[in-house]
Structure 1
Amino acid sequence: MTDLDKESFYALHNIYSDVPTAFGIVRTNGLPLGVDAVDCAVYRTLSRVNHSCAPNVHHTWNPKTKKEYLHATRDIAGGSEILTSYLDPFLVREERMKRLWKSFQFECQCELCAAPSPAEYDLTVRRIKICSDLIMTCASSDPKKSIQFVRETLALLDKIGGEGKTPFYYDGYQISAMYGDYTLAQEFATLLLESYIMDAGEEGENYERYLKYSQNPRSHERAGCAPRRILS
């Protein structure tokens, strides 16, 4: 490292006093190189972006460019702090607090955690988890019901900020394509691409694949594999 990089690295926060300093800094500030990745990286700037349970940016590792990206998930006023989330977005307040303290040793005071009563938000999150489980559970036995759960989940996400829709648009597209409802598949594929660009940009590793789906909803590898049904 250069002297400047070393100074920047060792100025990062470290919550682990029982391990060598450099290792503790990596464990505290490292961002995973992809979903469920074992490897992580520490960045001079991105590792200093603070947490919010209601973030205004989404961070993504791109294995093609080998870079970490931040994409705004909503309009950010000039002078406002850029905030990302260190957590799974679908957690109730009590669970968020426990995980943040265990992994980073701070108590979150973001707009969501500081709200007087988390009851409505927590109920919405719990319902999202139930619907999420039921989407694929019903996909083979009652695909129309499965699509209803997709739509309910998307509506629930709108109630808590509208983030995290990309995987549910994909579920809706995949199920519609499987059952040959290509009008509905086109609807979901278009929304999937728009949502993915917001999350990961056009440089994202799945951009070309989702672009292909939006241009031709029949291009999914499992399209038409189930008896045709109109699910809309």
Structure 2
Amino acid sequence: MSALQQCYVIKDAPGKGMGMFATRDIKRGECILSEKPLVFASRNLIKTQRAIDAMTELDKKAFFALHNVHSDVPTAIGIVRTNALPLGADAVDCAVYKVMSRVNHTCAPNVHHTWNPKTKKEYLHAIEDIATGSEILTSYLEPFLVREDRMKFLRKNFKFECRCSLCAAPSPEYDSTVNRIKIYSDLIMTCASTNPKKSIQFVREVLVLLDKIGGEGKTPFYYDGYQISAMYGDYTLAQEWANLLLESYIMDEGEEGEKYERYLKYSKNPRSHERAGCAPRQILS
């Protein structure tokens, strides 16, 4: 567990069980916590159960103190399903934590959690300023889901009705914006090989739309802008995107993030991308 624990406390969160709360003002981009797992888990239930059985008594005590909403399966497996975080965005395997697993959900989070396979730790970074006394909240969801899909996923997997600011009442405008983001996201790389200027336009459109729904989630789109610009040899534009990419990534995941060194390299030398110059040169700006 990180030495930065003085910025939060784990205490009762009315209607939610336990939760994490800020004990001082926390700045955007600040690392709130880095933590090694209590136990790793996978879809192989026998392997997972063996990993739980092998924990120390102290770790077992912390593990079995976590909430369990899945009463239809063995207690240990229910705790895993309730509290585990994936080991990366598309990972099948996951892990359970003594502290990190106490962070509650909202569809409008003020923190971002990421797994770093090099350090084998989960990191929690503030993605906005958090005032003293505020609850520190993450999202259990993949990005860009409309309200109906968010609520359906949370009911099925976590057995609760989300009452956050985005779910308390229907928001057709928010859902429409999310759907447009998904459409443009698909078009960015689809158009990259035939109409890179249009791809860059779609990137810019997505960034404008993201600002309408809170402004988070820009890092992968800065990467798209950088990669396309570098591919077509527009290194002036690639430099602009690379600088934005690095700045955004540091705010999301910090300098301890898995991709920090790679994005720093791009910022120092926009020609360093492995696909730089692979397409006929075009000025895309």
Match of 2:190? 137
Q: CA deviation at 1:12?
A: 1.5
Alpha-carbon contact 2:147-2:170 (below 8 Å) kept: no
**Residue of 50, 54, 76 corresponding to 2:130:** 76
Asked if 2 retains the 8 angstrom alpha-carbon contact of 1:53 and 1:89, the reply is: no
Structure 2 counterpart of 1:221, which letter?
A: E
Percent of matched pairs sharing the same residue: 82
* Partner residue of 1:46 out of 82, 92, 100: 100
Q: Does 1:212 find its partner at 2:250?
A: no
Give the C-alpha shift of residue 3 in structure 1: 4.6
Hey, what's the Cα distance between the residues in 2 that align with 1:94 and 1:83? Answer: 20
Corresponding position of 1:187:
240
Shift of 1:8: 2.6
TM-score calculated relative to the size of structure 1? 0.97
1:151 & 1:25 partners in 2: Cα distance? 42
Counterpart amino acid of residue 78 in structure 2: G
Q: CA RMSD in A?
A: 1.1
TM-score if structure 2 supplies the norm length?
Answer: 0.79
Deviation digits for residues 40-65 of structure 1 (CA, Å, limit 9, x no counterpart)? 11111100100010000000000111
Structure with the higher helix share, 1 or 2: 1
Query: Which stretches of structure 1, 4 residues or longer, exceed 6 Å deviation after superposition?
Result: none
Looking at secondary structure, tell me which structure has more strand per residue: 2
SS at match of 1:71: strand
Structure 1 residue 33: deviation in Å?
Answer: 1.2
Query: How far apart are the structure 1 equivalents of 2:201 and 2:114?
Result: 29
Structure-2 separation of matches of 1:89 and 1:222: 27
**Structure 2: distance between partners of 1:19 and 1:150:** 44
Residue pair 1:57, 1:71 contacting (<8 A) in 2 also: yes
- Secondary structure of 1:173's partner? helix
Contact 2:109 2:137 in 1 (8 A): yes
Total equivalences in the alignment: 231
Amino acid at match of 1:152: E
Per the alignment, residue 177 of structure 1 pairs with 230
Task: For residue 148 of structure 1, give the secondary structure of its aligned residue in structure 2.
Answer: helix
Q: Residues 95-147 of structure 1, C-alpha deviation per residue, up to 9 Å, x if partnerless?
A: 00000011101011111112x44111000000000000000010011000000
